[in-house]
Structure 1
Amino acid sequence: MTSLSPIPSFDDLKITFQEYSLVSPSHEKTQPKSIFLSNIDQILDYNIPTAHFFKRNPDFPPQIVAEKLKIALRRVLVPYDFMAGMLELNPQTGRLEIDCNGAGAGFVVASSEISLDEMGDCLIHPNLGYRQLAVEKLENLAHDDKPLCVFQITSFKCGGFAIGMSTNHIILDGMGAKAFMENLASQAFDDEPLAVVPCNNRRLLSARSPPQVAFPHHEYLDLNLPTGEGSRPPVYDCNREELNFRIFKLNPTDITNLKVKAKSATNENTKISTFKVAAALMWRCHAFSGDLGHKKDEYSTILTSINLRSRVNPQLPLSYSGNGVLPIGISATFDDLEKGPFSRLVELISNRINDMTYEYAKSAFDWLEVHRGVPHGDYLIASWLGLGFDQVEYPWGKPIYSCPIVNHRKDICWIFRDAVDDGVAAMVALPAEEMVRFEALFYEFLGC
């Protein structure tokens, strides 16, 4: 994977790994248990890595931070006992569950030969080298013993450090991860209570019995898999292949201009957000960067994940730990994508997001109960906007930068806040020829 980004890139942070260990909860549970996983939890069996950077703090050198972080992790794994468990397949139901066996979370200590200053502008943009900051498995464990989450502290030559976290998506979504990091930070202080009380009851999003599918759910693909004994849920993942990596930036002026274009013909009640205009632009670019043989009346479909916490009844707590999200599909013809008004794409995105009502969400969980399918679309455009990982207060301060880490997925575009000018940036990974076309289309569509 090579970078086409004009932003200077560090591909190798010159990392030395010093410790691999497992951290168990600070006290054992007396009653072993298995945790129910919702139908959206079931299919997200892949890892999401993130990195959080901290400047040098003379009161908290990296070795002290590593000790405090390990103690905090032991404490927080009591209310988050499932994060120290292992996935297991219930052979009777064909469903995945979490065995809360206290096996532990991974803990890695590493060091880099470079300083944060040497990285310059690279620091505040995702880089290929950041993959070294959040390993997915421990070298001293067999593959089948891979923990559901691994935490890594990497010290830099300057005394600054990074905390990396690689978690199986089954156990946390973005908001759940933010709540977890707030609680981890709270436990790094002496005698502090949890920042928020986690809600670990995933049955709040269980399917109805019997299922009642009330809407068409074209955002899922029915794989016609067997259910029950001997079956296993599908995984929403993709094949690994050689990809190029690129960060596409939208400064505040770009965003303002896109919102003006979006407002020109949209319904006056349509809320025009930064995410919607950025997603519409990325959709246009992706639609014409791949297969060039599409007919103008064929459809392109993107997916975006909708937070359900305020959309269900009763509302889920903000600290809900499972995946309190569902994808929704938005479709347009290739002719509309190329020649139609930008405002129409933004309106389509807005209307479909509004379609995610409580009744629609219940129907989606029931559809997944019946069909055991996976999300299906040409491109998933996911938002990091508003998650606020960089606002988490640790004893050693807030992160100076937090970001998702480049992974092998070409079917996901991450949109996140740009730390340079308060604009936004989109992280894209595509095969080389597609990336060249995507880049050309980005500047063409942005300027038209």
Structure 2
Amino acid sequence: MGTSDNYDVPPLLQDLKVTIHNSSMIFPSREIDRKSLVLSNIDKVLTFDVETVHFFGAHKDFPPHVVTERLKNALEDALVVYDFLGGRLKLNLETKRLEIDCTPEGAGFVVASSEYKLDQIGDLDYPHPAFAQLVQKNKDFLKEGDDPLCVAQITSFKCGGFAIGISTSHTTFDGLSFKTFLDNVASIAAKKLLAVRPCHDRHLLAARSPPRVTFPHPEMLNLNDLPKSNIFEASTEQLHFKVFKLTSNHITKLKEEAKNSISGDTTTRVTGFNAITAHIWRCKALSCDDDGNNNPNRSSTILYAVDIRSRLDPPLPKSYTGNAVLTAYATATCREIEQWPFMRLVQMVCEGASRMTNEYARSIIDWGEINKGYPNGEVLVSSWWRLGFEEVDYPWGKPKYCCPVVYHRKDIVLLFPPVDGGGDGVSIIVALPPKEMERFYGLFNKFLGV
């Protein structure tokens, strides 16, 4: 099967019975210099929080109370290395730009426990709404209205396992730099040298002066135009959440379908990501029903994140902290998506990534200097598949699983590795209105031939 065993939602605990024992602020372990960190035009539109939960099994040498103390100390040292993380977002009144005021105001730290064992809470890779209890949302730790950029919560389970829930402002990290941050926290906790010395220079992604928009950017929504739905906005609709699981054999099958669906030689590199993204695109486009009017001439745009660190000239340091990811896109009508050979969709996904040259990336950044806007499309594929959160080696071991807290956005599809590092497959987290989910489910299996 290309999905979890049945279409019905598996039995889930509605309440993890989490008790908060202590909420406090933690501060840099040493004095830091007061300064302002300018945010890039990529950073400034990502003002929402990213919440992740990292699950760990019991470890005889690291019971939860030991991990709690070790983690707290490591984060205090990390607030020195990442001196902006204990600061606060502010608007520079002169430049009218959002900045991070690098102050020692600190991060949040919460200690909690659940009345359940880890193996009682269900499938870790299912988008479980109750996992929100493992990440602290109340940030008024010291004063009303305070909004730390980072809050960590450690929740122990009856079995000795535990979860570390981390909420960070997306202005601080993209997926790759957050992985580096976790590697460094793990190294500090192990009393080792930093895994990577991070680069915090956001000026490396500053707009050119004067800005030069040298390409059209249909993937961007200008807020000066007629208002449209923002892909990052939470949906008010009822949504069903589902995990679609592709094994390595499924992925190979999709790649072979692409290669066999068009005659003649092709220079397109059929990667697993390109094939999976094209598969998601056709399922999403053909399952959308536009208020009962299934219009074959409707245009469908898929967005997907591309890391630009190595694509710029000169390249960004691999250790660049901040958001160095832009959205590539592919657009076609629903009729084309339904009738074209699968390889054509894969080619379009590949072309979208290839489009992201140094000049194109700089053009998008300059577009953001002139306009206020967001990436805009029918669906955004956000891949955490190869980020390696599950490979971070803490003194208490690697996580059993890492996942996002479910959020109410129907147009963002997440790719994650399987639980417990289970092979080369991928878990695809989808949230859609019920009728759309039924169609998506049917198309997903139909195109896989299952």
* TM category, shorter: over 0.9
For 1:281, which of 276, 279, 285 is the aligned residue?
Answer: 279
Partner residue, 1:437: 439
Gaps of 5+ in 2: 1-5
- Deviations along 1:74-133, one digit per CA (max 9) or x if unpaired, are 00110101111100011232211001111111111111111122245x134442222211
Residue identity matched to 1:47: D
3-state SS, counterpart of residue 397 of structure 2: coil
Per the TM alignment, residue 246 of structure 1 is displaced from its structure 2 partner at its CA by 0.8
Farther-moved stretch of structure 1 (126-135 vs 198-207): 126-135
Change (3 A) 1:75 1:425: same
Letter of the aligned partner of 1:239 in structure 2? A
Name 2:223's counterpart in structure 1: 223
Unaligned ranges ≥5, structure 1: 226-233
**Residue of structure 1 equivalent to 2:269:** 271
Matched-pair contact (CA < 8 Å) for 1:301–1:332? yes
Write out aligned runs for 1:37-48 (5 A).
37-48=39-50
Q: 1:87 aligns with which of 89, 102, 109?
A: 89
1:302 aligns with 2:305: no
Aligned to 2:25: 22
> Which residue does the alignment assign to 1:230?
none
Partner of 1:255 in structure 2? Answer: 251
CA distance in 1: counterparts of 2:11 and 2:246, whole angstroms: 17
Structure 1 residue 163: Cα displacement: 1.0
Deviates more, 1:41-50 or 1:144-153: 144-153
Q: Within 5 Å, give how 1:106-145 maps onto structure 2.
A: 106-119=108-121, 122-138=123-139, 140=141, 144-145=145-146
The residue type equivalent to 1:237 in the other structure is: F
Q: TM-score, normalised by structure 2?
A: 0.92
Counterpart CA distance in 1 for 2:447 and 2:161 is 40
Matches within 5 A, 1:333-352: 333-352=333-352
Alignment CA distance shift 1:377-1:385 (3 Å): same
Q: Please give the alpha-carbon distance, in whole angstroms, between the structure 2 residues aligned to 1:285 and 1:19.
A: 45
Q: Report how far residue 235 of structure 1 moved.
A: 8.3
* Letter of the 1:283 counterpart: W
**Counterpart in 2 of 1:152?**
153
Distance 1:350 1:142 in 2: 49
Indicate the percent of aligned positions where both proteins have the same amino acid.
48
1:201 is matched with 201
Q: Which residue of 2 aligns with 1:73?
A: 75
* AA aligned opposite 2:241: F
C-alpha deviation, 1:240, in angstroms: 4.1
Name the SS for the 2:29 alignment partner: coil
The TM-score with structure 1 as length reference comes to: 0.92
CA deviation string 1:354-393 (max 9, x = no partner): 1100111011101111112211111111111211111111
Counting only pairs closer than 5 Å after superposition, residues 91-106 of structure 1 correspond to structure 2 as 91-106=93-108
Q: What are the residue-to-residue correspondences of 1:369-408 with 2, within 5 Å? A: 369-408=369-408
CA distance in 1, matches of 2:269, 2:144: 47
What is the distance in 1 between the residues matched to 2:334 and 2:189? Answer: 52
Residue 358 and residue 161 in structure 1: after superposition, are their counterparts in 2 closer, same or farther (change >3 A)?
same
- Alignment coverage as a number of residue pairs: 435
For 2:208 and 2:160, locate their aligned partners in 1 and report how far apart those are by CA, in whole Å. 53
Q: 1:245 corresponds to which residue?
A: 241
1:144 Cα deviation after fit = 2.9
Partner secondary structure for residue 81 of structure 1: coil
State yes or no: 1:320 paired with 2:359: no
SS of equivalent to 1:288: helix
Amino acid at match of 2:257: K
Q: Aligned partners of 2:184, 2:8: CA distance in 1, in Å?
A: 35
Would the alpha carbon gap of residues 389 and 279 (structure 1) be closer, same or farther in structure 2, given more than 3 Å must change? same
Q: CA deviation at 1:19?
A: 1.4
The one-letter code sitting in structure 2 at the alignment partner of 1:248 is F
- C-alpha separation in 2, matches of 1:80 and 1:340: 48
In structure 2, distance between residues paired with 1:356 and 1:129: 38
Amino acid at match of 1:255: I
1:47 and 1:136 in contact (8 A); partners too: no
Q: CA RMSD in A?
A: 2.0
Q: Distance in 2 between matches of 1:240 and 1:336?
A: 28
Tell me how far 1:146 sits from its aligned partner. 1.6
Stretch of structure 1 that moved more, 414-423 or 298-307: 414-423
- Is contact 1:21–1:138 with CA below 8 Å preserved after alignment? no
Structure 2 residue aligned with 1:61 = 63
Write the distance in 2 (CA, Å) between the matches of 1:23 and 1:5.
42
For the structure 1 residues 42 and 289, does the alpha-carbon distance in structure 2 shift closer, same or farther, using more than 3 Å as the test? same
- Matching residue of 1:228: none
Match of 1:363 in 2: 363
Partner Cα distance (2:273, 2:438) in 1: 24
Q: Describe the SS at the equivalent of 1:27.
A: coil
1:13 and 1:349 map into 2 onto residues whose CA distance is 40
Contact 1:275 1:385 in 2 (8 A): no
